[in-house]
A and B are shown apart, each in its own frame.
Chain A
């Protein structure tokens, strides 16, 4: 007979998939993610062998490089209880697209499926898996939230970020018109078809402006950089941040694309 285990249950081990954009452009989002996950009772690790989820290659039709990058990601992350990314698009890549890359390939398909099952986008992981219903953060101002496409339509993320934002003291959330419509980023789309992308993001920034919010939030850095870049080119005063920065109370530094001035 095994002795009764009276110790507290072991915290889940989370491998943080930082995402290449957060790693390179917005480390604050990575640290905010770590803080939120640790506050939710997770043990967070960041495997050094990660680079990118492979979407640039995947969406350019380059399957061989995608598969090589996916194998690298699977090897780096399969030891954890969960894989969490502060991005609906990258989490969606691991969760919805990796298994298909190895269809009919036995071992690798099984490994990709196992990884897919335990991969989550950050905010939906906090709410749906860890049962977080409120955060200890304050933000003085009016924000509007853009639903990034992959998170919304591949992973069903819509209600979770709004629920957590409602718990931030001092924060007022206003909905913009067409919050669920694409911002025009689309990865390499925005540089392959810059004029069309521009037309789409102009619609988005018009809706952001009309909402009256002083801050724009979303869960994907690619979309955020696109919208921030357009707002700044238009001379808008709207600040742009990843939703994790506000939820973690790490929104005192410069907003995206804003220097120290």
Chain B
């Protein structure tokens, strides 16, 4: 996918002016936040579970090589294949080879952000293989030729009316007079259309929420059941997962599952939690003949041992974006690549470079709500600040900002000079503010006064007045 993060400001401007998007984004606020809070309030041990989940991931990341190799061994023992992919291009080539070997013309896909990250759909289409997204949200955006705007609710930027219009446009074999006024009718129609696709598919591709080293299992959590059909019905199942999805044991997986759905959708558990271990065994009622796991690095191992390692604890619940005022304002597409919101603001520069994604960690008020709700306690604002530090030390931020900051810091580091300057400037500004006490326009603060008035200083600085008060006190004593 083409990265448009360098154009974040322009993307945001368009998003703010898009009435459909703004209407759709209201659902993020009303839909996710209260539900999560209810689920958390109903579980007294939620805080303890967060701590435990964090400890599991920290331990795993500290011994990632050991657990990955143990996992590989178990997958092979169960009759599956493990493919190591250092880059997105490696992963695409491996998946294409598997599809070619299976003679695939159609592949069904469960919801997977990793396949978005490696741009799999566009690639397969170019190679003459038709990918069919089976998650409702993913299916909708595939019809529209779009990318997900949210990591668990890919079509959250759309209204129901837009989806209805898309279905009428694409499903033109169905009666035009049919009733699609309810979300349930849209869901029903998508299910009927997709049902036949599962049987046509030669390969089913899913992501993974977890890879379990103890058993060699891949785990997906879904609400629609589409993931199960995707991985059971075709001859070949391909799991595409990044290396940090590994957990040591089934018990560890269960611990993290307890915070995952609650943080994501406010459910105690997702409707389906499905474990796959190898291909169909003799006597199994169903399952694929071949089972492949593509383990993707794509820049993650380079994050180990750096100030960005904590980001690899992320379990992709989406709570950070659900609670982010900036995400609420502009939606996910403005971020310009696969991962939006606070987690994207940390991960995108790690994977694509801060020179391209520098706006993302800057476009945060540091309100801290993301960190407060993150089930894995990832210090997202702190890591965004680390990106700003890298950017600053490489001289990547705009010159106006650097000079402004430099001038300010020059005085802030010199208290006496600062006192002299402010005791001259502040009364002058107060005088200019006049009887109104505020400015509608200020030449050096246009970013502010474009949308708001600027309050004028009261009179003189506190320090000027305080010094006088102290002098009077001294004189009164004498």
A28 interface contact, C-beta 8 A: yes
Interface string of B364-404 (1 = CB under 8 A from A): 11111101100000000000010111111100010001000
User: Which of A105-113, A131-139, A253-261 interfaces with chain B?
Assistant: A253-261
- CA of A197 to CA of B366 in the docked complex: distance in angstroms? 12
A219 interface contact, C-beta 8 A: no
Contact pick for A65, options B328, B329, B413, B457, CB 8 Å: B413
Given the interface pairs A23-B422, A226-B452, A257-B456, the reply to whether A196 lies near B16 with Cβ below 8 Å is yes
B330 interface contact, C-beta 8 A: yes
- CA of A101 to CA of B179 in the docked complex: distance in angstroms? 62
**Contact indicator B455/A25 (Cβ below 8 Å):** yes
Shortest Cβ distance from residue B286 to the other chain A in the assembled complex, whole angstroms:
48
- CA of A147 to CA of B391 in the docked complex: distance in angstroms? 31
A141 interface contact, C-beta 8 A: no
- CA of A138 to CA of B34 in the docked complex: distance in angstroms? 36
Contact pick for B325, options A184, A194, A230, CB 8 Å: A184
Shortest Cβ distance from residue A145 to the other chain B in the assembled complex, whole angstroms:
17
- Total inter-chain residue pairs, C-beta < 8 Å: 217
Interface string of A151-193 (1 = CB under 8 A from B): 0011000000000000000000000000001101111111111
Chain B residues within an 8 Å CB radius of A57: 405, 408-409, 412
- CA of A114 to CA of B448 in the docked complex: distance in angstroms? 37
**Contact indicator A257/B437 (Cβ below 8 Å):** yes
B189 interface contact, C-beta 8 A: no
- CA of A257 to CA of B365 in the docked complex: distance in angstroms? 23
**Contact indicator B415/A51 (Cβ below 8 Å):** yes
Shortest Cβ distance from residue A92 to the other chain B in the assembled complex, whole angstroms:
9
Given the interface pairs A31-B462, A60-B392, A195-B16, the reply to whether A52 lies near B412 with Cβ below 8 Å is yes
A18 interface contact, C-beta 8 A: yes
**Contact indicator B466/A62 (Cβ below 8 Å):** no
**Contact indicator B452/A56 (Cβ below 8 Å):** no
Contact pick for A189, options B12, B363, B405, B413, CB 8 Å: B363
- CA of A196 to CA of B298 in the docked complex: distance in angstroms? 31
A149 interface contact, C-beta 8 A: yes
Interface string of B6-19 (1 = CB under 8 A from A): 00010011001000
Interface size bucket, B side? 35 or more
* B interface, over-half SS: helix
- CA of A49 to CA of B416 in the docked complex: distance in angstroms? 7
Chain A residues within an 8 Å CB radius of B448: 190-191, 194, 229
**Contact indicator A46/B466 (Cβ below 8 Å):** yes
Contact pick for B451, options A26, A52, A194, A260, CB 8 Å: A194
* A interface, over-half SS: helix
- CA of A154 to CA of B329 in the docked complex: distance in angstroms? 24
**Contact indicator A24/B422 (Cβ below 8 Å):** yes
- CA of A225 to CA of B455 in the docked complex: distance in angstroms? 6
Shortest Cβ distance from residue A26 to the other chain B in the assembled complex, whole angstroms:
6
User: Which of B57-65, B227-235, B253-261, B428-436 interfaces with chain A?
Assistant: B428-436
**Contact indicator B385/A259 (Cβ below 8 Å):** no
**Contact indicator A229/B452 (Cβ below 8 Å):** yes
**Contact indicator B433/A259 (Cβ below 8 Å):** yes
Interface size bucket, A side? 35 or more
B83 interface contact, C-beta 8 A: no
**Contact indicator A49/B367 (Cβ below 8 Å):** no
Chain A residues within an 8 Å CB radius of B251: none
B267 interface contact, C-beta 8 A: no
Residue of B nearest to A259 (CB): B437
A124 interface contact, C-beta 8 A: no
**Contact indicator B365/A27 (Cβ below 8 Å):** no
**Contact indicator A60/B388 (Cβ below 8 Å):** yes
Chain A residues within an 8 Å CB radius of B371: 153
**Contact indicator A54/B412 (Cβ below 8 Å):** yes
Shortest Cβ distance from residue B19 to the other chain A in the assembled complex, whole angstroms:
13
Which residues of B from 342 to 370 have beta carbons under 8 Å from A? 362-369
Chain A residues within an 8 Å CB radius of B385: 58-59, 61
**Contact indicator B325/A182 (Cβ below 8 Å):** yes
A211 interface contact, C-beta 8 A: no
Interface string of A39-70 (1 = CB under 8 A from B): 00000001011111010111111110100110
B200 interface contact, C-beta 8 A: no
**Contact indicator B389/A63 (Cβ below 8 Å):** yes
- CA of A49 to CA of B412 in the docked complex: distance in angstroms? 10
Chain A residues within an 8 Å CB radius of B422: 23-24
- CA of A42 to CA of B325 in the docked complex: distance in angstroms? 39
**Contact indicator A197/B451 (Cβ below 8 Å):** yes
Contact pick for B457, options A24, A30, A190, A195, CB 8 Å: A24
Chain B residues within an 8 Å CB radius of A194: 447-448, 450-451
Given the interface pairs A48-B419, A54-B412, A259-B438, the reply to whether A60 lies near B368 with Cβ below 8 Å is no
Chain A residues within an 8 Å CB radius of B366: 59, 149-150, 186-187, 189
A215 interface contact, C-beta 8 A: no
- CA of A193 to CA of B9 in the docked complex: distance in angstroms? 7
* 19 A-B pairs whose Cβ atoms sit less than 8 Å apart in the complex: A46-B462, A48-B415, A48-B467, A50-B415, A57-B409, A59-B366, A60-B397, A61-B389, A61-B393, A189-B363, A189-B365, A192-B401, A193-B363, A226-B452, A229-B453, A232-B438, A253-B458, A258-B438, A259-B435
Interface pairs A-B: 8 shortest CB-CB:
A186-B365, A259-B437, A229-B452, A61-B392, A61-B388, A191-B447, A257-B455, A182-B367
Which residues of B are interface residues toward A (Cβ below 8 A)? 9, 12-13, 16, 325-326, 328-330, 362-369, 371-372, 385, 387-393, 397, 401, 405-406, 408-409, 411-413, 415, 418-419, 422, 426, 433-438, 440, 445, 447-448, 450-463, 465-467
Known A182-B325, A195-B13; 6 more pairs at CB < 8 Å? A27-B461, A61-B388, A182-B367, A186-B365, A226-B452, A232-B452
